[in-house]
Amino acid sequence: MQELTSPNRLYSRIEILDKNCPIPKSRGLYAWFFRLIPPLVPIENCIVKDGLTLLYAGISPKDENSNENLRKRIRTHYNGNAEGSTLRLTLGVLLEKSSNHELRRVGSGKRMTFTHLGEQWLDNWMQDNAYVCWLENNKPWEIERDIFKSFSLPLNIKDNDHHKFSKTLSKLRSKSKKNAREMPIANEDNLQRKV
């Protein structure tokens, strides 16, 4: 696990979204380190490397039957939206006061994102503050729980209920989704996200 907790190299959003993306199209685990810590997030016992704090880890694919891979998943976290990325949803909820973008229902009303402008704000924040590394592993789902037990990862919720922040984060996300359901569908006409 040292490749995740003390990597030789951490990669930025620009490097990952480049046409020469360094991430392999294989299975494995990934870890996210942050320059700025979102509000409320406790960082006691978190791993720090070169001034960056490890706050979140994940796997791809989630099981034997999934077609996901490390490259697809990490790029989705960097360039997707809150509907497809639990990391983006978490960051957007925690940074809502800084961004002034709430979670909203969009399109037909079934999906929830921070709207084009909010997701663009989150893109910029992640460019400045979020760095990733990965470790190839053919069956990452077999060791995912061990990672949560071994390291303090306050931005993870699933299989991480032993962490003191897990319940708080889960409640914040649920409240944000409830608020989004109570608001009208966001009108995103003529608004485009700049990538």
CB atoms within 10 A of CB 73: 25
Confidence (pTM): 0.95
Q: How many domains does the chain have?
A: 1
| 193 is a domain residue | no
pLDDT band at 10 (very low <50, low <70, confident <90, very high): very high
Mean per-residue pLDDT, 65-71: 95
Does residue 90 belong to any structural domain of this protein? Answer: yes
- What is the average pLDDT score of the chain? 95
Give the C-alpha separation, 72 to 47, whole Å: 26
Q: Are 4 and 31 in contact (CB under 8 A)?
A: yes
CA 169 to chain CA centroid, Å, is: 13
Is there a domain that residue 63 lies in?
yes
Strand partners, 133: 31
Rounded average pLDDT over 139-152: 91
pLDDT level of residue 37 (50, 70, 90 thresholds): very high
Domain that holds residue 90: 2-182
Q: How far apart are the first and last CA of the chain?
A: 33
